[in-house]
Amino acid sequence: MDVVHLSSADEMLTVTGDALRRTGAEGELTLGILWRLTHEPDAWGADVTLLAGVEGGTPVAVVTMTGPHPALIVGLGDDPGVDYAGFVEAMAAGPRPVGVNGAVRWVDPFARAWSEAGATTTLHREMRAFELLAVKPPRTPDGTFRPAGSADGELMERWVTAFGDDVGEQVTAEQAHNTVYRLTSSRDLWVWERDGEVVSMAAITRRTPWSSTVALVYTPPQQRGQGYASAVVAQLSQRELDAGQEWCALFTDVANPTSNHIYAEIGYEPRCDFHHYVLEW
């Protein structure tokens, strides 16, 4: 396997786009990152690493790394002969990754290769990638599904911060503000409202020509267990499919059986588990 450095997201999509699309939710994060970079080359700053592993002219795996985020690996087939050490060697001259992320079958050997190169690897998070092709409508609670607007901004910012606390990721006030502003401006943040009170939210955080990713699903503790999250996610997912998307993706914490169950109930099927390792040098 030869490791090829690619100069742009457009070039990476030309070489690997069709293969990435066939991986579904397993490669959705990589596909979404590349698609955003084609429109916003500086979305994550100047430090962007784009690598393709090629065997006999066919791409077999890709690694992307943007800014301070983990190096993300995805395989493009079932061939076990990916040269993980080759990827590590190809990245030696650039910034050292702070972590690695990807589907278990690809990222575990990738993490081992970094360990052999001198890094200490620690499993940080276990996630599950779900994929939806058709919505199974849940029991609909009383209320209304609507886009979040400017009047909801302050509440949405608090909820984005609370969501970060729930998943163990600190979100600053500035980050929450920027996230809510971006999502409300594009009508990608939606809420469930009951009796004049907003009780749940969900958002589309990534979109490609073929897929949409549902995330930021949050219901305050006092409103949970009423079916609001299921309703808003189901409605938002159906909206994306109706707009022409082939499928929706969603990631959950493996350790949260409640969220895994409710998403499966509305048609999300588990595609694979992800491991995120922290690297220390």
Cβ atoms of residues 21 and 12 within 8 Å: no
* Per-residue pLDDT tens listing for the chain (281 residues): 899 999 999 999 999 999 999 999 999 999 999 999 998 898 888 899 999 999 888 999 999 999 999 999 999 977 667 999 999 999 988 889 999 999 999 999 999 999 999 999 999 999 999 999 999 999 999 999 999 999 999 999 999 999 999 888 889 999 999 999 999 999 999 999 999 999 999 999 999 999 999 999 999 999 999 999 999 999 999 999 999 999 999 999 988 877 788 899 999 999 999 999 999 98
CA distance 226 to 245: 28
Give 191's strand partners: 146, 201
CA distance 41 to 115: 31
Q: Which domains does the chain have, with CATH numbers?
A: 2-127 (3.40.630), 134-245 (3.40.630.30)
Residue 127: C-alpha distances to residues 31, 50, 200, 277 (Å): 18, 23, 22, 12
Residue holding tokens 């996630």? 127
- 3 state SS of 263: helix
CA distance 22 to 194: 39
CA distance 174 to 180: 10
Please tell me the pTM assigned to this model.
0.89
pLDDT score recorded for residue 77: 79
pLDDT score recorded for residue 169: 86
User: Could you tell me what percentage of the chain is helix, strand and coil, using 3-state DSSP and rounding each to the nearest 5?
Assistant: 40, 35, 30
CA distance 174 to 161: 10
